[in-house]
Amino acid sequence: MGPEPTAPPAASLHPLSDSPAARRRWLPWLLLLLVVAAIGGLSWYAVKGKPPAKDKGGMPRGRPPVTVGVATAEKQNFPVELDALGTVTPIANAVVRAQVSGVLQQVLFSEGQIVRRGQLLAVIDARPFENALMQARGQLQRDEAQLDVARVNERRYRQLLAQDSIAQQEVDAQVALVRQLEGTVNIDRAAVRTAELNLDFSRVAAPISGRIGLRSVDAGNLVGPSDANGIVSITQVDPIDVAFAVPQDAVPELKAALAGGKPLAVSAFDRTRSTQLANGRFLALDNVVDTQTGTVRAKARFENAKTLLFPNQFVNVRLKLRTVDDATAVPVSAVRNGGNGPFVYVLNPAESTVSLRSVKRGLSSAEKTQILDGVRPGEQVITEGADRLTDGAKVRLPGAGREAKDGKGGRGDKDRGKDGGKDGKSGAADGRPARRDASGG
């Protein structure tokens, strides 16, 4: 047998040996890894950089001030109002039906026309009713003549009875005949009045004043009292009522306002609350609470000369209950809600910063909110841009001049006025509504 194989050297089993060939093979890869790490570190530092220091309001130092809108808290008489959704309901609505059967000869109205009570609207063929009236009058004349004869005979019989020339039985029979004929005459007179009334009913008149609707039948058709749709409908539109619901919690305050004896003012607005349709007065409050909704039905009356209120129209009702004098009020947009309750940002004019203040709200209307505590009259509150603010943040008013880009300060008064005008235009262009404080600025 030959010699046994020997094990290879230990250095050949480790690729990362200290041999010159191994170092030459791995050194380029190590250098490449160091270069990549250095480039990544420089890139991160260039993008992130050192976190800027923050001021006490939590804003990074050097951040441009936030442009905000302001309004002045002011003393005013704050109206206590109740808003509700109402339905326009006409005071009267009548379906004009023929009260006698006959052929409709004439239609004397136009659809949509305003008519007055008693105005002639349609004419039914009156000839059958004229004949019936003549017949009733003839029957009455005949029976009246018979009654006259019976009364003359009665007087003669009484004279003969006084002379003892006739029996009492004949006198009594004649008296009964007179009473019978008197009853017949009364029946005939009623028949005459009925015929006269039917003749009057052949001329159809408006039962109420109001607006004519669309007619249901044309001339030449047979009409009668049993027609479901009648001839036409009339709806009274001036004045007109609005029915709405009052929350049961507001009923005591409403009753207290009614107890004062003065009429309560009510305003009606369109669906968007942007247009006032009419002014009226509170009319009546229902006597029960709706158990399903927890409300009480109420009604207000409006003059509707311009017919802006249409029957069955949905409107927004605003009922003025009372007025709180000398209340501190701010715009609704100035009050915000936080974890600790409602708050506002108050402007510090000298420092151009804002302070966060907790407030206690009172009454509210569509535009104003009463502040019971936290803001004094004359202080300015932030109404726009508050969602980008924190306590102590720097702010800038739309009318203030822009800072120069090179950091040398603001421009002169002339340039500042120009910038203010541009800011005002840009503020209007971005959709923020312009607001004015109490001073008219």
pLDDT of 428 over the 60 cut: no
Long-range contact set of residues 356-365: C-beta below 8 Å, sequence gap at least 24:
356/390, 356/391, 359/335, 361/335, 362/78, 362/324, 362/327, 363/78, 363/80, 363/324, 363/327, 364/332, 365/78, 365/79, 365/81, 365/332
Rounded distance between C-alpha atoms, residue 233 and residue 213, angstroms: 5
pLDDT of 30 over the 80 cut: no
Residues whose CB falls within 8 Å of the CB of residue 57, separated by 6 or more in sequence, listed in order = 353, 389, 390, 391, 392, 393, 394
Confidence of residue 64 (pLDDT cuts 50, 70, 90): confident
Range of lowest pLDDT (152-161, 187-196, 241-250, 408-417) = 408-417
pLDDT of residue 368: 85
pLDDT of 176 over the 60 cut: yes
Tokens of 203: 């001329």
All domains of the chain, ordered by start, with CATH?
66-81+325-429 (2.40.420.20), 85-91+235-322 (2.40.30.170), 94-232 (2.40.50.100)
Average pLDDT of the residues in 203-221: 92
Rounded distance between C-alpha atoms, residue 392 and residue 293, angstroms: 46
410 close to 402: Cβ distance less than 8 angstroms? yes
What does residue 52 show for φ and ψ, rounded to 5 degrees?
-70, 150
Rounded distance between C-alpha atoms, residue 219 and residue 196, angstroms: 23
Rounded distance between C-alpha atoms, residue 295 and residue 354, angstroms: 43
Rounded distance between C-alpha atoms, residue 431 and residue 433, angstroms: 6
Higher pLDDT among residues 436 and 180, named by residue: 180
Confidence of residue 245 (pLDDT cuts 50, 70, 90): very high
pLDDT of 20 over the 80 cut: no
Choose among 328, 301, 330, 329: nearest CA to 317: 301
pLDDT of 1 over the 90 cut: no
Torsion of CA 424, 427, 428, 431, to 10 degrees: -170
pLDDT of residue 438: 33
Q: Where are the alpha helices (DSSP H) in 260-398?
A: none
pLDDT of 120 over the 90 cut: yes
Average pLDDT of the residues in 52-68: 61
Average pLDDT of the residues in 129-136: 95
199 close to 129: Cβ distance less than 8 angstroms? yes
pLDDT digits (tens, 9 = 90+) for 94-105: 999 999 999 999
Residues whose CB falls within 8 Å of the CB of residue 332, separated by 6 or more in sequence, listed in order = 364, 365, 366, 367, 368, 369
DSSP state of 387: G
Average pLDDT of the residues in 195-219: 93
pLDDT of 441 over the 60 cut: no
Confidence of residue 261 (pLDDT cuts 50, 70, 90): confident
Q: What is the mean pLDDT of the chain?
A: 81
Confidence of residue 385 (pLDDT cuts 50, 70, 90): confident
Higher pLDDT among residues 37 and 125, named by residue: 125
Concatenated DSSP letters of 107-156:
E---TT-EE-TT-EEEEE--HHHHHHHHHHHHHHHHHHHHHHHHHHHHHH
Alpha carbon of 203 to those of 99, 198, 234: distances in Å?
10, 9, 17
pLDDT of 407 over the 50 cut: no
209 close to 115: Cβ distance less than 8 angstroms? yes
pLDDT digits (tens, 9 = 90+) for 355-367: 999 999 888 777 8
Confidence of residue 2 (pLDDT cuts 50, 70, 90): very low
Rounded distance between C-alpha atoms, residue 137 and residue 127, angstroms: 16
pLDDT of residue 62: 53
Range of lowest pLDDT (64-73, 194-203, 314-323, 429-438) = 429-438
Task: Please state the length of the chain.
Answer: 441
pLDDT > 90 in the chain, percent: 49
Instruction: State the angle between helix axes of 127-162 and 168-201 in degrees (0 to 180), rounded to the nearest 10.
Output: 160
